[in-house]
């Protein structure tokens, strides 16, 4: 005569409860690991438009988000805004190197990017130095030595970097150089559209 298995209904229920508890515990552990991972840094809002960009309202009207300007950029400086897909440049990541032939402008078929006679005519933004954190007084003037338009210079009397607004085209090279050689970025480019807002 067969005997009943010692594993009964009560044991089954007990094991089920333990399994659910273990699963919940593992899930909680996983959630803790996920939450411990640092959040990505917020996206910069002071991005630049490519060289020759029309005024912002007109640029948005004309730009078809075709990506042709980004495709021809030899440095990969032009990327796309994650929300609206329009071409932008994040100066601290990959600035504009002011190519002689401006292939990005030549590639734009809708005149969202307008022809310029030379790099001096470009106006993407304007650099500003935070003298409180700038290390020029300690001998650093890497940004001035790398500026392609000679818009930055070292004032040795005051031991600070000076920006010549009429020469600055806002390419962002100074930002990237500063980020490379210093712990804190002491120079930032304010894009033309934000400069226009502050003046209005």
Query: Does residue 118 form part of some domain?
Result: yes
pLDDT at 131: 93
Query: Does residue 180 form part of some domain?
Result: yes
Of residues 11 and 188, more confidently modeled: 188
**Residue 20's pLDDT band (boundaries 50, 70, 90)?**
low
pLDDT at 6: 59
C-beta of residue 143 within 8 angstroms of C-beta of residue 152: yes
Confidence (pTM)? 0.75
Query: Does residue 191 form part of some domain?
Result: yes
Domain that residue 91 falls in: 56-199
pLDDT in tens, 164-173: 999 999 999 9
Of residues 142 and 198, more confidently modeled: 142
Could you tell me what percent of the chain has a pLDDT over 90? Answer: 70
Query: Does residue 146 form part of some domain?
Result: yes
**Residue 34's pLDDT band (boundaries 50, 70, 90)?**
very low
| Token output for 105 | 């402008």
pLDDT in tens, 71-95: 999 999 999 999 999 999 999 889 9
**Residue 27's pLDDT band (boundaries 50, 70, 90)?**
low
Domain count within the chain: 1
Query: Does residue 176 form part of some domain?
Result: yes
C-beta of residue 105 within 8 angstroms of C-beta of residue 52: yes
Report the candidate in 94, 106, 85 with the shortest Cα–Cα distance to residue 171: 94
Spatial separation of the C-alpha atoms in residues 47 and 42, rounded to whole Å: 12
Instruction: At 73, give phi and psi (nearest 5°).
Output: -70, 115
**Residue 116's pLDDT band (boundaries 50, 70, 90)?**
very high
Residue 137 burial by CB count (10 A; 0-12/13-18/19+): exposed, middle or buried? exposed
The stretch 139-153 carries a mean pLDDT of 95
> What secondary structure, in 3-state letters, does 18-38 show?
HHHHHHHHHHHHHHHHHHHCC
CATH number at residue 101: 3.30.70
Q: How far is CA 163 from the centre of its chain?
A: 22
Query: Does residue 83 form part of some domain?
Result: yes
Query: Does residue 43 form part of some domain?
Result: no
Query: Does residue 2 form part of some domain?
Result: no
């Amino acid at each position: 005569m067969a005997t009943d298995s010692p594993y009964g209904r009560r044991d089954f229920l007990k094991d089920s409860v333990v399994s659910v508890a273990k699963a919940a515990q593992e899930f909680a552990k996983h959630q803790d690991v996920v939450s411990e991972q640092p959040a990505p840094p917020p996206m910069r809002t002071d991005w630049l438009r490519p060289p020759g960009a029309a005024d912002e309202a007109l640029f948005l009207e004309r730009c078809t988000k075709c990506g042709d300007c980004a495709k021809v950029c030899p440095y990969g400086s032009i990327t796309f805004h994650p929300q609206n897909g329009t071409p932008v440049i994040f100066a601290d990541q990959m600035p504009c190197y002011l190519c002689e032939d401006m292939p990005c402008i030549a590639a734009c078929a809708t005149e969202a990017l307008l022809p310029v006679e030379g790099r001096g005519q470009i106006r993407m933004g304007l650099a500003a130095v935070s003298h409180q954190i700038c290390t020029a007084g300690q001998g650093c003037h890497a940004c001035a030595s790398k500026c392609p338009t000679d818009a930055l210079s070292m004032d040795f009397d005051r031991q600070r970097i000076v920006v010549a607004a009429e020469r600055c085209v806002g390419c962002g090279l100074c930002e990237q150089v500063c980020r490379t050689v210093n712990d804190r970025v002491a120079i930032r480019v304010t894009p033309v559209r934000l400069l226009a807002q502050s003046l209005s």
